Amino acid sequence: MKDPVLEIRDLNVDYGLGDQAVHAVRDVSLTLHRGEVLGLAGESGSGKSTLAYGLTRLLPPPGVIRGGQVIYHPAAGPAYDVMALSHAELRAFRWAETSIVFQGAMNSLNPVYKVSTQLLDVIRAHEPRMPASARLARARELLRLVGIAADRMDSYPHQLSGGMRQRVMIGMALALEPQIVIMDEPTTALDVVMQRQILRQLIELRERLGFSVLFITHDLSLLVEFSDRIAIMYGGRIVEEAPAPALYRDSLHPYSDGLLHSFPALRGERRELTGIPGSPPDLRNMPTGCSFHPRCSKAFEPCPDRVPVLGHPRTPDGRTRTVACWLHPATG
């Protein structure tokens, strides 16, 4: 196996405190390896964005991290826990080690500053000793990387199209050559052709620059195409994780199966579109046992009572994948 670059261990994130708290992320453990694209999929409200905000400690109030570790392995030097960093250390960690392209990438640029200002200020904040001319050259280079003409440097965000703004954000995410780029549905606001064009560019860049990507989306077909491994999230928990081809070929969790059948795949054989009956769980009032059991066609005796743990299934490729389902009880 490849080296890990980010290990999320038992991360728990709540919105609110005490009895009113909503457990949006529950005991999530997930490992991102160096140079890979890890896809994270799940229905709306399953906690994908919360996980991304949580592991960078960017949760807006009333979000709180209730527990867990996020171990980061820098390119050189010992690993450390992001959750234990001081404010100053955290500021230095952000963007330089892990950058994010947010779900609302359309509104991620400050409307009153030029694109160049916003590209330059992050470089200046992290590399104050770099000469101004070098910073400028870097900013131009970044725009070129994402296919935007350098004369757009002096544009204001409202003068750019949605796709261009998204590209600017992707370029900005690479400004400090971070090890990890988190992408939270970076392209959902775009049309399908544009989405794929941007993603293809991103994958190309990754091969050249060698960063890892945590790619969040609810469009599983996109992940099957672009990611190395896929994790499926349901009701705040990871319910299955597997290499992309394996998940596509034979998903073990009935929920993954349902998700795969909710989207028409652009490539490969035609699949029947069935979708998942019922609606996503209410986080304030989660079902007992496996939270998916009320919607699951294969639910049986243990499902309503006991929560299945995420573990390696007894399948031939069992060592490379994990699932939390009573149909495939964990080994060991």
156 binds, among ligand ATP, another protein, Mg ion, none (CB under 5 to 8 A by kind): another protein
List the single partner that 47 binds among Mg ion, another protein, ligand ATP, none, CB under 5 to 8 Å by kind.
ligand ATP
List the end-to-end C-alpha distance of the chain, in Å, as a whole number. 20
- Partner from ligand ATP, another protein, Mg ion, none binding residue 100, C-beta < 5-8 Å depending on class: another protein
47 binds ligand ATP (CB under 6 A): yes
- Residues 240, 311 contacting (CB under 8 angstroms): no
Would you state the structure tokens that stand for residue 12, as one six-digit string? 């728990």
Query: Smallest gap, in angstroms, from Cβ of residue 21 to ligand ATP?
Result: 9
Work out how close the CB of 232 gets to Mg ion at its nearest, in angstroms, rounded to a whole number: 15
Distance CA(199)–CA(187), nearest Å, equals 8
Task: Please give the DSSP secondary-structure letter assigned to residue 106.
Answer: G
Look at residues 143, 144, 86 and name the one whose alpha carbon lies nearest to residue 118. 143
313 is a site residue for ligand ATP (CB under 6 A): no
* Binding flag, residue 42, ligand ATP (CB under 6 A): yes
- When asked if residue 46 is in the footprint of Mg ion (CB under 5 A), the reply is no
What is the Cβ-side half-sphere exposure of residue 114, based on CA atoms within 13 angstroms?
10
Judged by beta carbon distances under 5 to 8 A according to partner kind, the member of Mg ion, ligand ATP, another protein, none in contact with residue 50 is: ligand ATP
Following CA atoms 263, 267, 272, 274 in sequence, which dihedral angle do they give, to the nearest 10 degrees? -10
Per DSSP bridges, beta strands 37-41 and 229-234 are parallel
User: Is residue 295 close enough to count as binding ligand ATP by CB under 6 A?
Assistant: no
Residues that bind ligand ATP (CB under 6 A): 15, 22, 24, 42, 44-50, 62, 103, 218, 283
Binding site for Mg ion (CB under 5 A): 49, 103
